[in-house]
Structure 1
Amino acid sequence: MDAFPPLNDSYYDYGGSGGGVVGPCAQQGAQRVELALGPYVHSVICILGLLGNGLVVVTYACYKRTRSMTDVYLLNVAVADLLFVAALPLVVYNELSSWSMGAAACKLLRGSYSVNLYSGVLLLACVGADRYAAIVRPHRSFRLRSLPSGRLICGAVWGSALLLSFPTFYFYDRYDLSRSFEEEVLLPEVNATSWPPQFVCEFRFSDSATAWNTKMAVPATQLAVGFFLPLVVIVFCYAAVIATLLRVRSDRRHKAVRVVLAVVVVFVACHLPYNLALLYDTVTMFETQSCDAADAVRAAKLLTQTVAYLHCCLNPVLYAFVGVKFRNHFKRIVQDLCCLGRRRPPPRRPSRLTSEIYVSTRRSVDGSSENGSSFTV
């Protein structure tokens, strides 16, 4: 199971003694990795992701209204991660049960999976750009950083993610891999019952030209838009933020710098290994590979994609709970839950806190006012 599912799973062994096609590759190494990661590691990621991102959504819904672009971005990041981890157990179940939920579930789960991943990483780039505008260019960006602008940009991000995921919705299908192998690769006289059914949810094409173009375009787009573009934006914006914070005379600037560095390092550490594995897989996509080589590549993609999945669990900590005011709102949730059933809590007075994550209502670490905004720790 890949973040953006496999495009070069070499199912057939081309290394037989006769030099021809021998049969489907067993890929035992990749299967062992998948069986180990699916029920256990992915379950932990799902639980942590649901808990962390669910708390962010509940906090915004009940205690902290979205009043700035940062709030809109962070709420949408939490929603994207929440939908992602909610779909993860269904994908794992279908992978382990030969997609028993059928072809419709294959298209829907793979497609929604892709939409949430694209939107999540692009929204993180938006958060970086917003922090750059708030800290490095506070006076020039004040009028542009409005709530309607944030909602418009988030709508554009979700629309772009849906458009980029269209090939996944359209071309993915559930089919019997063993039957396709016998009908399309082996001689017609081979008994169609010689291979046991092996249902998969993968790309399926009607002609080789469409297969060639799509199998090159989809991973190339994923690498360009789903990783390198956000990486460039994040590194550039946060590098400028760090340079600005280091020029500020404040006891809190070093803590703020560490928060920024953590955001960048975690993003790179989580997403770079998988995208390097995907890049290698894309470059060697149409080369003839032995079963052992294909098995090793697929196992590497499974391992590195799991590391990438961890990012959705870390996002709430990096982007929300590290903020002073967000932690205060979260404490109110815990207090209200403790008081639930014992006494009716008093009506909440309108909060004077701004809804800017990492923003101080007094003087921020970069010396700007509330409108300038900055990281708080």
Structure 2
Amino acid sequence: MNSSDNFTDDYYYDDHPFYEPCSSSDNGVNVVVGPYIHSIICILGLVGNSLVILTYALYKRTKSMTDVYLLNVAIADLLFVLALPFIVYNELYSWPMGQVACKLLRGSYSVNLYSGMLMLACISTDRYIAIVQARRSFRLRSVSHSRIICALIWMFALLVSVPTFHFYHWYEPSHNNIVWFNGTEEEETTDPQYVCEWKFDDSNTASIVKVGVPSTQLAIGFFLPLLIMIFCYTAVIITLQKARNVQRQKAVRVVMVVVLVFIACHLPYNLALLYDTVSYYEHRDCHAESSLRKAMSVLQTVAYLHCCLNPLLYAFIGVNFRSHFRRIFQNLCCVGKGYIAPRRLSRVTSDIYMSTIRRSVDGSSRTSTSFLT
């Protein structure tokens, strides 16, 4: 444990009282990953999830449980990528935006993490009911039920994120004013460098929270959705294999891609987080600690990629969704032509045209199948 006044884990001390603390300066991995790779993730995630939300808002609507879950996944991922640049900036530089913004940023990150992962589990459950339990699917699968489930998930995600909201603070670490010279501490006068990090009043609380929060994230934010997805999609694949149909075989491949991408993105980081949590009370020297932090930084970035892939895996892979997506650009072109030639296409005519398109699209989608089949 750290012996600083704020009981954070930014510095690690060796057993010898005259050893200097481990340096927490930004390594090369964070410098490269932070500004560049995370920027690409933010852009792709922002575009992909915004298009999903826009398509549902204008054309497809939410006519099934899968649609409701998918829309909520896109909202959670969009909020996540909007918060990601601020999180990266806070990890690389001083936090300039104060206490309220600090708590909202870290808390919203936690809420979106839990809600997004649990929504993916709900999608797999919905596919299981629709395909494996087809006889009971009409009674169990309703839009009203899915909206209630989504509301409960968001409230549950907010509840388990309370420790994050409470224990993240905006403060100036005490070690910012300490420099080490020949094994002794000396005060250094510099400009205040505030951070948005964990802060505790005592070491017991710090130990409980620093182990409890990652454990909850592992259990609820990864292993629970993973087990649900494996169970549901395994049953779906077995059921689809019994149907000698080309479309069904294609659906099997889609299911396998969904599961494998989820595992490839999230399993490495969560295994590293599990190791870090289990070995929290064990002493690690500075070299081992630095190597673990570098590995977790890279693996966390891989996990972040999943928010960019969700629109491709769950939305754009479906033929019906792609047709709605194309309608966006077609209607945007029509509206653009209306502004260029206002005499040939009045505003009223344009509105009538747009509403007609929406009715035709809505009508054709009532008999559409789910995105996995």
Give me the TM-score of the superposition, normalised by structure 2: 0.87
| Distance of aligned partners of 1:159 and 1:262 in 2 relative to their CA distance in 1, 3 Å threshold | same
Structure 1 unmatched runs, 5+: 1-6, 361-372
CA deviations on 1:217-247 (whole Å, 9 max, x unpaired) are 1111111001000000001100111111111
Alignment of structure 1 residues 102-251 onto 2, 5 Å: 102-179=98-175, 191-193=186-188, 198-251=193-246
Structure 2 unmatched runs, 5+: 1-6, 339-344
C-alpha contact 1:9 1:294 (8 A) present in aligned 2? no
Alignment counterpart, residue 259 of structure 1, candidates 226, 239, 254 = 254
Q: Which residue of 2 aligns with 1:340?
A: 335
> Between Structure 1 and Structure 2, which shows a larger proportion of helix residues?
2
Q: Secondary structure at the match of 1:174?
A: strand
Matched, 1:43 2:43: no
Q: Secondary structure at the match of 2:140?
A: coil
Q: Which residue of 2 aligns with 1:269?
A: 264
CA deviations on 1:167-205 (whole Å, 9 max, x unpaired) are 00000112222448859x9xxx95543788553322111
Matching residue's letter, 2:79: L
Matched, 1:20 2:17: yes
Cα distance in 1 for residues equivalent to 2:63 and 2:223: 30
Cα distance in 1 for residues equivalent to 2:39 and 2:149: 32
Cα distance in 2 for residues equivalent to 1:90 and 1:355: 41
Q: Which residue of 1 aligns with 2:3?
A: none
C-alpha contact 1:131 1:374 (8 A) present in aligned 2? no
Cα distance in 1 for residues equivalent to 2:306 and 2:177: 37
Give me the TM-score of the superposition, normalised by structure 1: 0.86
Alignment of structure 1 residues 360-375 onto 2, 5 Å: 360=369, 375=372
Cα distance in 1 for residues equivalent to 2:372 and 2:223: 25
CA deviations on 1:44-99 (whole Å, 9 max, x unpaired) are 00000000000000000001111111110000000000000011112222333211
CA deviations on 1:244-265 (whole Å, 9 max, x unpaired) are 1111121222211110000000
Matching residue's letter, 1:244: T
Q: Which residue of 1 aligns with 2:341?
A: none
Number of residue pairs the alignment of both structures matches: 349
Q: Which residue of 2 aligns with 1:84?
A: 80
1:141: Cα distance to partner?
2.7
Matching residue's letter, 1:166: V
CA deviations on 1:109-157 (whole Å, 9 max, x unpaired) are 1110111011000000000000000010011131121111000000011
Off by >6 Å, runs of 4+ in structure 1:
none
Matched, 1:352 2:359: no
C-alpha contact 1:8 1:282 (8 A) present in aligned 2? no
Q: Which has the higher contact order (CA 8 A, sep 6+)?
A: 1
C-alpha contact 2:172 2:194 (8 A) present in aligned 1? yes
Cα distance in 2 for residues equivalent to 1:138 and 1:374: 16
RMSD: 2.5
